[in-house]
Amino acid sequence: MARSGLGRGLEEIYSSTEAPDLSSFVTEGEMPDSPRAAVIWMIFGSFCFGTMNALVKWTSDHADVWMIIMVRSAVIAFGVAAFAATRGISLKVNDKRTMLLRCSVGLLAMILYFTALGRIPIGQAVTLQYTGPLFVALLSGRILAEKASSGVVALVMTAFVGIVLIISPDLGSIEPDALLALGSGFFAALAYMYVRELRKTDSPATVVFWFAAFSVFGSIIQAAPDIHSLDSTTIASLVGVGIGAGGGQIGITMAYHKANAAWVSAFSYLTVIVATFYGFAIFGETLTSADWAGGLLIVGSGVALVFVVPQKDHSEQIKSHETLPRD
């Protein structure tokens, strides 16, 4: 069923750049609702994603962004390929053009995001990267022919104020490194919309695998010369980035199988809290009052955005969850 507005797909966007979405093949069949289990899985997923962000930031002092992307993507590609082989899932691409577009903008989003993580506080980077759903609201009318309601527009404008507070707190200058994270949110939104098109033609395993494989090939030329210089600790951290990304998506996926999509989506922003804590506890990062205010506006708008969508749309989405490919 065609759905209008943005929030009906909010839970699908976070996987477009950060991690493989194993959503439609982690479990099979419908599960009874269990809000408590959903919260536990969401906490687990947020912890994994937050840990991934911290590992990316730490590793950025020992390896460049190309190396991080290559190893992370190789871990994911191997895991998905192994899973697909055991389940007899085909990885053949049917819509090659859309797949290429999805992989291209997804890789660009990841490059921008991982670069930003190495330069600005984790909490700031994650918050700006989570503007992806808000960019979907701005772009969906032109690309997906889906009309955004007045409520969605109001929330997007509120979030825009939050963005301004973070990237230009004094309204006189712009923090260029913060723009990298904001740009990652924009390209993540594009990636998400291409994923929606691929749901019609390709399996989720195919979309996940080829994005990971594309990212490996897109970074290997720049990363390969430095492989021999990596120490065991850095290699372990790089592999941890891939494991954290996969674990995070599994946690969030299981959460959506356990409870109502709208209710679970509101908890997805736990990653921002976990990542901010890591920044404070491990890296000694502090956020300005403008960062806190901007973050609250962005996260608050994102959470509110979830509940703009009629309950019926969310229920139908859960019922079709097993048959609609996701990235």
Query: What is the rounded average pLDDT of the residues 16-22?
Result: 42
- Where would I find the H helices in the chain? 10-13, 15-18, 23-26, 35-59, 65-87, 96-117, 122-129, 132-143, 150-167, 176-198, 204-223, 232-258, 261-265, 270-281, 289-306, 311-319
Query: What is the rounded average pLDDT of the residues 60-78?
Result: 95
Among 146-150, 188-192, 295-299, the range scoring the smallest mean pLDDT is 146-150
Q: Chain centroid to CA 174: how far?
A: 25
| Cβ 152 vs Cβ 7: under 8 Å | yes
Query: What is the rounded average pLDDT of the residues 54-58?
Result: 95
Please give the angle made by the CA atoms of 21, 251 and 298, to the nearest 5 degrees: 80
CB atoms within 10 A of CB 304: 17
pLDDT tens track for 158-202: 877 888 888 776 666 678 898 999 999 999 889 888 888 888 898
Of residues 154 and 265, which shows the higher confidence score? 154
Identify residue 166 by its one-letter amino acid code: I
CB atoms within 10 A of CB 292: 15
Of 257, 8, 272, nearest to 124 (Cα)? Answer: 272
In this predicted structure, the answer to whether residue 112 has a pLDDT above a threshold of 90 is yes
Only one residue has tokens 């999805």, namely: 102
E runs forming strands in the chain: none
In this predicted structure, the answer to whether residue 66 has a pLDDT above a threshold of 70 is yes
In this predicted structure, the answer to whether residue 325 has a pLDDT above a threshold of 70 is no
Share of the chain above pLDDT 90, in %: 37
Of residues 315 and 234, which shows the higher confidence score? 234
In this predicted structure, the answer to whether residue 248 has a pLDDT above a threshold of 80 is yes
How far is Cα 112 from Cα 135, in angstroms, rounded to an integer? 16
Query: What is the rounded average pLDDT of the residues 279-304?
Result: 85
pLDDT tens track for 74-97: 999 999 999 999 999 899 999 999
Please give the angle made by the CA atoms of 30, 244 and 123, to the nearest 5 degrees: 105
Of 186, 195, 194, nearest to 135 (Cα)? Answer: 186
pLDDT for position 260: 65
Of residues 297 and 98, which shows the higher confidence score? 98
φ/ψ of 28, rounded to 5, equals -130, 140
Instruction: Report CA torsion sign: 312, 315, 317, 319.
Output: negative
Radius of gyration of the chain (CA): 18
Whether the model pTM is above 0.75 = yes
Read off the pLDDT band of 263 (50, 70, 90): low
* pLDDT averaged over every residue in the chain: 78
In this predicted structure, the answer to whether residue 221 has a pLDDT above a threshold of 90 is yes
Please count the CA atoms within 13 angstroms of the CA of 108 that sit on its side-chain side.
14
Among 175-179, 226-230, 264-268, 319-323, the range scoring the smallest mean pLDDT is 319-323
How far is Cα 21 from Cα 203, in angstroms, rounded to an integer? 11
Residues written for the chain: 327
How far is Cα 162 from Cα 243, in angstroms, rounded to an integer? 32
